[in-house]
Amino acid sequence: MSDFGDISDPDELSTISPKRKNPKGKYISSRQKIMVINLYKDILMKSPGIKYEDIVNNLSEALGLGRETISKTIAEYRRTNTVTSPNKKRIKFSLFDKTDDLDRNGLRQKVHSFWLRRELPTIDKILVAVNEDPSLPNFKRTTLYSTIKKLDFVFEKRKRCSVLTEREDLIVWRRNYLYNIRKYRQEGRQIYYLDETWLNAGDCVDRVWKDNTVLSKHDAFNKGLTTGSTNPTGKGKRLIILHIGSDKGFLPGGLLCFESKKNSADYHDEMNGDNFKEWFEAILPRLEPNAIIVMDNAPYHSVKLEKYPSTRWNKAQLSEWLQSKGVVLDRPLLKHELMAKVREIPRNKSYVIDKIAEEAGHTVLRLPPYHCEFNPIELAWAMVKGYAKRENTTFKMDDVRQLLHTAIERVTSENWQNFIKHVIGEEEKIWKVDDIMDEVIDQMEHCVLTITGETDSDYE
């Protein structure tokens, strides 16, 4: 019997349901969904032979909900054995926003795999390769094209064919990074790797064993069985995690963990320059002398020592800044003229974090963009989150936090050494790819269009 009384006939639903219809487009609450499921079960128990369409129609009329809403709610329950609360603050994300760093790195590696085979990558070739890989999301051609562009690949016209290459500055950045990291290893300097990640209270393994002979909770009770593992009702609250490690393991006392406050797909939104700086200053005394600190280029890692002028500055501020740089202003200038002089002065790319590290006797080495495979802590995070997901059965934040600490303790120095060994292999592979790409492109002819015309005319 359901919580809503003894219903012997589906037609009697109209006597217990509100006549007021749910406004079109309005979210239905989890309480309403539970009511749908309870009445759905009750009808099945009382009238096993009733058609599904009749059930949906009766529930729709009785509860004032649309038939599609009823069907989706029942389908959700059949699929997950539970119902979820509506997310009233829906944020639409593009496929690029939904892909994480590992997926983006996977796309980049797909492109480079063509160079490694001395093939010219094109969008059509990449599309086939990506969609055949079960570890990567499926793309449509236009979506893949825009995603590849956002990863800073560019098309170059060469000898009547389009060749997909990377931006020149990114190639140079990557080359310099690989050269420097090799040099530091040869010098025997201790290298630390830091990064942030996240863990949701509702994170768990995607696939579990299920007994399909158990039809419902009532059926499980009668058979002395269970309905299987409990599913989370949603992603839940999120932990933002920051840590640092080396070939000796995670640095003791280096963990920063706090609860997210934003409904954002990007965990980087939770961190800011002040929080990171405070943590960074606290862990520096724990590092070995003359260490190398590898990090990515997140905005809070890259707060500049000096703020560069922009058009939002007024004329007085621009003039003062220019004079501090030794520029002589011998006459009143328009704002456009002041900005032109500002652009003549090279930008100072010194960062607050780099300066703090330098004063403590350490060196910051920044990863090239979109190359998380060069950071072994990504593999450590995969191990940590894998353990937490496997052991998460309560989906409570306090329990997940404890699982996080346990998972971090389980990552040994041997694990870290294997992670670093894997990363070195990736570095060598990319170094080889760059050499091949440079050789192939150098042997191709540039497509140059020369426009000629008369340069002088005779006038009376």
Whole-number pLDDT of residue 454: 40
The answer, yes or no, to whether residue 3 has pLDDT greater than 70, is: no
Three-state helix/strand/coil letters over 330-345: CCCCCHHHHHHHHHHC
Check pLDDT > 80 for residue 208: no
Instruction: Check residue 451 and give its pLDDT.
Output: 39
Would you state the pLDDT for residue 58? 85
Q: Which of 8-22, 95-109, 150-164, 202-216 has the weakest average pLDDT?
A: 8-22
Tokens of 223: 């058979």
* pLDDT bracket for residue 357 (50, 70, 90): very high
For residue 344, give the amino acid letter.
E
Alpha helix locations (H) across 151-298?
Answer: 168-186, 217-223, 273-283
Phi, psi of 303 (to 5 degrees): -70, 125
Cβ pair 309, 323 in contact under 8 A: no
3-state secondary structure 356-383: HHHHCCCEEEECCCCCHHHCCHHHHHHH
Separation in Å, CA 94 to CA 91, 130, 142, 265: 10, 18, 13, 11
Higher-pLDDT residue of 219 and 347 is: 347
Q: Are 116 and 98 in contact (CB under 8 A)?
A: no
State the helix-helix crossing angle for 335-344 and 315-324, rounded to 10 degrees: 30
Least confident of 121-125, 211-215, 227-231, 449-453: 449-453
20-24, 259-263, 327-331: range with highest mean pLDDT: 327-331
Average pLDDT on 336-356 reads 89
What does the mean pLDDT of the chain come to? 82
Element (H, E) at 250: strand 249-250
* Most confident residue range from 91-105, 262-276, 416-430, 431-445: 416-430
Q: Which residue has tokens 């290459």? A: 165
Half-sphere exposure of 256 (CA within 13 A, CB side): 20
84 beta partners: none
What's the Cα-to-Cα distance from 217 to each of 12, 160, 192, 226, 323, rounded to whole Å?
Answer: 25, 66, 51, 7, 78
What per-residue confidence (pLDDT) applies to 256? Answer: 95
What gap in Å lies between CA 402 and CA 161, rounded to an integer? 55
Q: How far apart are the first and last CA of the chain?
A: 106
CB 176 within 8 A of CB 277: no
pLDDT at 14: 46
Strand ranges in 255-308 using DSSP code E only, listed in sequence order: 256-259, 292-295
Identify the three-state secondary structure at position 355: helix
* Euclidean distance between CA atoms 348 and 98, whole angstroms: 34
The pLDDT value recorded for residue 227 is 66
Q: What pairs with residue 195 in β-bridges?
A: 243
Once rounded to an integer, what is the mean pLDDT over residues 309-324? 90
Mean pLDDT calculated for residue range 418-437: 93
pLDDT-above-90 percentage for the chain: 35
Rounded distance, CA 383 to CA 458, Å? Answer: 78
State the CB neighbour count (10 A cutoff) for residue 31.
Answer: 10
Predicted confidence at residue 257, as pLDDT, reads: 93
Instruction: Identify the pLDDT of residue 443.
Output: 72
Cα gap 326→303, rounded to integer Å:
24
Q: Is 180 exposed, middle or buried (0-12, 13-18, 19+ CB in 10 A)?
A: middle
Q: Please tell me the predicted confidence (pLDDT) of residue 459.
A: 34
Q: What is the pLDDT of residue 449?
A: 38
Mean pLDDT of 366-385: 94
What CA–CA distance (Å, rounded) separates 163 from 323?
47
Closest CA to 385 of 243, 215, 220, 183: 243
Non-local (6+) Cβ contacts of 303 within 8 A are 273, 277, 351, 352, 353
